[in-house]
Structure 1
Amino acid sequence: MTGRRGIPRRRRTRAAAAVVVSFLVLLAAGAGWLYLRLNGNIATFDADGLSKNRPGAGVAGQNVLVIGSDSRADGNSALGGGEGDVGRSDTAFLLHVYGDREHAVAVSIPRDTLVDIPPCKLPDGSWTAEQRHVMFNSAFSLGESAKGNPACTQNTVERLTGLRVDHTVVVDFKGFSAMTSAVGGVEVCVPKDVHQGDLDPHLGSRGPLVFPKGQQNISGQKALDYVRVRHGIGDGSDIGRIQRQQAFLSAMIKKVRSQGFDPTTLLPLADAATKSMTVDPGLGSANKMLSFAMSLKDVDLHNMKFLTLPWRYDGNRVAIVQPDADTLWASLRADRTVDGKDAGKGTGKGKAGSGGGPGAPSPPAPGPVSGAGVKVSVRNATDVTGLAARAAGMLKDHGYEVTGTATDRDRDAASTVIEFGPGEAGHARALARLFPGAYVRGAAADGISLLLGRDYAAAPSSGPAGASPSPSASPSPLPGTLSSDVVSGVRSADDDPCANLSYG
């Protein structure tokens, strides 16, 4: 039997198959060209500037630091980049992707937050001294280079949070503008009319209307203006701007998800994104970036959360609120969501109340701990009287030399932290066996210091004060619950775009 026009059906099938194979060959060739193009777009920063005493790698989740740069370099000045030739950063957030790959949270760090900046590498190869109680965004400007100092910002975030940053991404103005255009614009909401004078307070007048009040679709320069506007809305602060940036990112994620895996959208978006980013070497290829992007594909919009580091005003600067901030970082280290669920790898769909996932504190290793020849300083960072003396007694029983005890009256730490200097990593890990659930991280200072948190205060004692916990003792309690003040400020990517847009 023959088909139409007398062509045998088998012959038509072979012809169709040949067409499909030819198409696949062309597609593969195009993908190769695209791969080379995207690879050529990607710039990396020098990883030699990363601290030598970094927090240990996480057991489940991933942490990605995203920095917005207002550098004037490479055509950014036409879009409103900062003054001068020094790269500056007004925006930064730490994205934590949980081990179950079904939850994620982005924590914004206000630019004016007062933090300690550890030693950082300068363009001439020298290293700065540690700086205390300075503005967070000054880390990016250390060295005064046009591209900024992302390694220094990463070091600062690791010191601040106790979390190891797996990847760092810097996005410039031009790339951000191009990405919003590539997705066909983003739906946003403006709480009140915004004029040109609100974008540029030096204009001397309100100027023409830029954004009318209400919902609208924006892209390109207008999208950039939206996430940068600060004056004329709320109290004109960076905190209010952060809330609108979180709403914008929520809307952009929602837009990309709604379009699905459409090559006509994804390819321009990938091209714009890779052109705009400077990344750490670990993300320095199209394959690596694609692999990370695909790790987010199962995060539901409702499970993509945004919040701001717990803060309060300190004059015209921002101070970190404790114990809320320590509780937040401890929750992320344990891979627990902002609503208290264990989202570690292999724990299923965010199983609540589970303490057995990889993010939970590990039981002490068997065998005795000997501290012979090891010096430790002890600080009590809680309001529990006598905690430092209790720990010091236990340490002496194990052979440690306690160099001093003190109480930090201004702190109320949720988690116990062990900090170690150069060459002390092994001793610090051994010490951690006496403090189940303690976080171990590197520091610039020599020796080992023990900062006691509320988890140690609440841990059951296996005997009289100063006795060491037995291998069968119960593990430390899971990280504390976030306060209602922190939780009330959380935004989900599927929230109403007009809700919670301004502070003040």
Structure 2
Amino acid sequence: MAGHKARDPEAGASPVGRRKDKRRRSRKEIAAWITAAVLALVVLAGALVYWRLNGNLSTFDGSGLSKDRPDASSPDANGHTPVNLLLIGSDSRDGANKDLGGGDDDGARSDTTILLHVYADHRHAVGVSIPRDSLVDIPPCMLPNKTWTKPQTGVMFNSAFSVGNTSQGNPACTQNTVEKMTNLRIDHTIVVNFQGFAAMTSAVGGVTVCVPKAVYEGDLNPNLGHKGKEIFPQGLQKVSGQQALDYVRLRHGIGDGSDIGRTKRQQAFLSALAKDVKSRGMDPTTLFPLADAATKSLTVDPGLGSAQKLLGFAMSLKDIDLHDMKFVTMPWRYQGARVAVLHPDADQLWAALKADRTLDGQDAGSPGPSAPAPTPSPTTAPATAVHGGGTPVAVYNGTTTGGLTTRAAALLEAADFTVSGKANASTRDHRTTVVEYGPGEKAKAEQVAALFPGATLEAGTKAGLALVLGADFATGGAEAGASVAPPPPGPLPTSVTQAARSADDDPCADLSYG
């Protein structure tokens, strides 16, 4: 109808009805503002949490890492990449650590070192304990004044952390040493001192451990001169703080009193810690108290230098089943009062991890689309004909191109040679690759040269084989490397598989050596 006005929805409503509608809208507006305020508080709280954790963290100088490092792990068929994490327990003499058992001397040493390999599927992991008394070669390491040390041969593994003699230790030197020894690229390194370890065990409410026989004060401190009172009864018990630290550092009174026996108890302790954390749920509510306690005494590599990255890495481990979290000790043998690396068992273990193979020989990479097998090339012939038989070869980079010794070492090891050392040559202008050999070693030198097409032989008076890489390998080495790719590693020796511990094993089983 002409002149008809639009009807006001409230025109016919009673005053009481209009007041009810206004109250309804008012309640909705209040609810919206409350929701917005709560979200703002949550965001602010999260920001404060990360700010607090970031303030706790310390990072070490990444410029101390070697320039000649193993290649990074390659993604599997679905783009997933394994991760190698180096865990270092420091007995720094600095601050509160001295009161917790750090000792009276200056500097710091690595009391415990574990290489944790997280497989590409992030459903399996293995921690390899490296005995601190192991005799190893330490490559050049950076000192606090930014100069570099000379390589060291046949020295104790834990001395790498002491290079530079600072209270913070030298985690970059320990990482360089592990990379040289294993030919595995370390993606991240975390150092935790006594204070941080004690705080973490308290933050989770203690850790359940087992003691095979009663332990007394005199066992913990052999200089005490008498038995003392009982500090650990036999059997299952929960420990935290100083008591947990005493448990993992205990050497005497159980087994043969060796560092190897202590390593077994440390593996059992980490298994129990993983079990306790997973039983509470791998979520931020569980992880925050642990992270807050840990980060106050953690030193990490620059790649983990934020709370977000550190918690993100921790959350990436939540799908690993306890049975698929294994612990082993690097294959070893006694050499006098020290420990020597057991070859070739250790080499087979490192090769299996590099290939992302589990201890039972399974490929842990996630399955992807199948691809046809590569057609054999004539250049693969030398790989099947060359068998080094463990012959040691020193490898030198005679060019200014980085990474060549790592590539060459992989070729040699795939042909069953032992790489006795890697370093830069005294001169860096070699155009061609040379194999230097001592008296009576020409046949072995020819075997080495067969792996490096175009290499020449050079006789000398000094015993041993030395491979000096030239520019020809720098430009064509990638093709050479592809033609002699290492075969999949075979089954691991029983020295590794039979000694492996799962995180769900009986906590009272296999707790010592001797």
TM range (shorter): 0.7 to 0.9
Q: Which amino acid aligns with 1:347?
A: P
CA distance in 2, matches of 1:355, 1:321: 37
Q: Whose helix proportion is higher, 1 or 2?
A: 2
Q: Which amino acid aligns with 1:343?
A: A
In the alignment, what sits opposite 1:389? 446
1:320 Cα deviation (Å)? Answer: 1.0
Of 432, 436, 440, which aligns to 2:481? 432
1:347 to 367, 388, 396: 367
Provide structure 1 residue ranges, at least 5 long, that are not aligned to the other structure. 349-353, 380-384, 410-416, 438-476
What is the deviation of 1:14? 6.1
Equivalent pair of 1:121/1:127 in contact (CA under 8 Å): yes
Partner residue, 2:505: 495
Residue matched to 1:462? none
Aligned to 1:43: 58
Whether 2:391 is the aligned partner of 1:333: answer: no
Cα distance change of structure 1 residues 57 and 262 upon mapping to structure 2, 3 Å threshold: closer
- Aligned pair partner of 1:479 in 462, 472, 489: 489
- Distance in 2, Cα, partners of 1:26 & 1:497: 43
Distance in 1 (alpha carbons) for counterparts of 2:499 and 2:142? 36
Residue matched to 2:421 = none
Report the residue type matching 2:319 in the other structure: D
Q: How far apart, CA to CA, are the structure 2 residues paired with 1:100 and 1:284?
A: 24
Residue in structure 2 matched with residue 310 of structure 1 by the alignment: 331
Q: CA deviation at 1:206?
A: 1.3
What residue number does 2:432 align with?
374
SS at match of 1:335: coil
Deviations 1:424-466 (A, max 9, x none): 65554343133122xxxxxxxxxxxxxxxxxxxxxxxxxxxxx
Quick one: structure 1 residues 401 and 199, their matched pair in 2 at CA, closer, same or farther if it must change by over 3 Å? same
Which blocks of at least 5 consecutive residues in structure 2 are unaligned? Answer: 1-16, 75-80, 383-407, 409-429
- The structure-2 alpha-carbon separation of the partners of 1:393 and 1:283, relative to structure 1 and needing over 3 Å to count, comes to closer
What SS does the aligned partner of 1:139 have?
Answer: helix
Checking the alignment, whether the CA contact within 8 Å between 1:53 and 1:422 is kept in structure 2 is no
Mapped pair 1:399 → 2:454: yes
Please give the alpha-carbon distance, in whole angstroms, between the structure 2 residues aligned to 1:148 and 1:222: 24
* Aligned-partner Cα distance in 1 for 2:375–2:209: 44
Relative to 1, partners in 2 of residues 1:403 and 1:293: Cα closer, same or farther, differing over 3 Å?
Answer: farther
Structure-2 residue corresponding to 1:81: 102
Q: Which amino acid aligns with 1:233?
A: I
Alpha-carbon distance change, 22 to 127 in structure 1, aligned in 2, over 3 angstroms: same
Secondary structure at the aligned position of 1:202 is classed as: helix
Deviation at 1:80, TM superposition (A): 0.9
Q: Distance in 2 between matches of 1:305 and 1:27?
A: 38
1:26 positional shift: 1.0
Letter in 2 for 1:146: S
Letter in 1 for 2:213: K
* 8 Å Cα contact 2:283/2:315 also seen in 1: no
Aligned length: 438
Distance 1:332 1:418 in 2: 26
Q: 1:479 to 1:347 in 2, by over 3 A?
A: same
Letter in 1 for 2:181: L
1:280 aligns with 2:333: no
2:244 equivalent among 197, 215, 223 = 223
Could you tell me how far 1:27 is from its partner in structure 2? Answer: 1.4
C-alpha displacement of 1:89: 1.2
RMSD: 3.5
CA contact (8 A) 1:310 1:320 kept: yes
1:34-113 aligned at under 5 Å gives the runs: 34-59=49-74, 60-113=81-134
Who wins on radius of gyration, i.e. which is larger?
A: 2
Between the two proteins, what is the percent identity of the paired residues? 57
On the 8 A contact 1:392/1:405 being kept in 2, the answer is no
Who is 2:212 aligned against?
191
Please report the TM-score for the alignment, with normalisation by the length of structure 1: 0.79
Q: Give the corresponding residue for 2:259.
A: 238
> Normalising to structure 2: TM-score of the pair?
0.78
Between the aligned partners of 2:123 and 2:48, the Cα distance in structure 1 is 33
Distance 1:244 1:43 in 2: 28
Q: Is the 8 A contact 1:188 1:217 kept in 2?
A: yes
The answer on whether the counterparts of 2:282 and 2:318 sit within 8 Å (CA) in structure 1 is: no
